[in-house]
Amino acid sequence: METSETHTEYLVEVERVTAGFAGSIVLDDVSMNAHKHDITVILGASGCGKTTLLKNIIRLYQPRSGSIRLFGQEITTMDDPEFNRILEKIGVLFQNGALLNSIPISENVAIPIKQHTSLSPRLVERLVRIKLDLVGLQKAATQLPSQLSGGMRKRAALARSIALDPPLLFCDEPTAGLDPVTADSLDRLILNMRDQLGMTIVVVTHEISSIKRIADRIVFMDAGKILFTGSLDEARQAGIEQIDQFFGKAGD
């Protein structure tokens, strides 16, 4: 049995996880990991279990069996105070953004800062401004989410998810439903966060154009199982029918 010290290059380590909902198995003996400073893309057809895997990794769900380590620490058996300290080092961009609609963008971004720090209002405001600058929304600070386009809302949600400078970021379908130009700019933002902020990023997606742009490594899922882990080039040469079908169907 290896200790966490030998694994520190991996910020996420999932080992033989089985999970599901009353009676159904959605993750079947899943193992994967995410290397520090990499963008790891979890991909696969709709309904194959990507979001469920993500939610197990951030402990919104508990697996039935297996091990999940974040920053080298086992989280499935951790007590809540200890897990809250892990949560402070994690950003999550959910599929639906989940901004509060009744308050302006700046206040949405301030929520995690106020929740986890005791900084003065002026410092909070300054941090919020830095994050909004980073995602190109400096001019939208006082607007309500409903006044923004879909792409801008995604950017605002991204600003909020990185408000505390998490070293580890999870994004579920960040470009789904966006037009190609907006999707491209969001992908570039994700690449910037890896390159300029040194973040480790795990992206769930089924958008082939995004995968090509951002993936350092891919984890290919099919019906609750991991079929392949490696580079995109390796995946396409692996001769795995489901992978060929996945990329073929989109016609590249």
What does the alpha-carbon distance between residue 154 and residue 162 come to, in Å, rounded to a whole number?
A: 12
> Which one, of 45, 56, 84, lies nearest residue 211 by Cα?
45
Q: Give whichever of 47 and 177 is closer to ligand ADP, judged by the CB atom.
A: 47
* Sequence-ordered list of residues with C-beta below 8 angstroms from that of 200, at least 6 positions apart, any chain: 11, 12, 34, 35, 36, 37, 38, 167, 168, 169, 194
Pairing of strands 73-74, 65-70: antiparallel
Q: Tell me the HSE value of 214 on the side-chain side, using a 13 A CA sphere.
A: 35
Is 19 or 163 the residue whose CB approaches ligand ADP more closely?
19
Least gap, CB of 3 to Mg ion (angstroms) = 33
- Residue 185, classified by CB atoms within 10 Å of its CB into exposed (0-12), middle (13-18) or buried (19+), is middle
Shortest Cβ 51–ligand ADP spacing (Å): 3
Cβ at position 14, least distance to ligand ADP in Å: 14
Residue 69 touches which member of Mg ion, ligand ADP, none, C-beta under 5-8 Å by kind: none
Applying CB under 5 A, which part among 48-56, 74-82, 135-143, 237-245 lies near Mg ion? 48-56
Q: Which of 163, 112, 111 is nearest to 133 (CA)?
A: 163
Integer-rounded Cα radius of gyration of the chain? 18
Tokens of 226: 């991991």
Which of residues 26 and 162 has its CB atom nearest to ligand ADP in the complex?
A: 26
Nearer to ligand ADP, 51 or 108 (CB): 51
Single-letter amino acid, residue 31: S
Nearer to Mg ion by Cβ, of 50 and 69: the residue is 50
51 binds Mg ion (CB under 5 A): yes
61 touches 54 (CB < 8 A): no
How many helices, marked H, and strands, marked E, lie in the chain? 9, 10
Query: If contact means CB under 5 to 8 A according to the sort of partner, which of ligand ADP, Mg ion, none does residue 26 touch?
Result: ligand ADP
Please, what is the minimum distance in Å from the beta carbon of residue 172 to Mg ion?
Answer: 6
Question: Footprint of ligand ADP on this chain (CB under 6 A)?
Answer: 21, 26, 44, 46-52
Question: Closer to Mg ion at the Cβ: 51 or 175?
Answer: 51
Residue 146 binds which of Mg ion, ligand ADP, none (CB < 5-8 A, kind-dependent): none
Residue 48 touches which of ligand ADP, Mg ion, none (Cβ within 5-8 Å per kind):
ligand ADP
- With CB cut-offs between 5 and 8 Å by kind, which of Mg ion, ligand ADP, none does residue 166 bind? none
Q: How far is the CB of 147 from Mg ion (least distance, A)?
A: 27
- Give residues in contact with Mg ion (CB under 5 A): 50-51
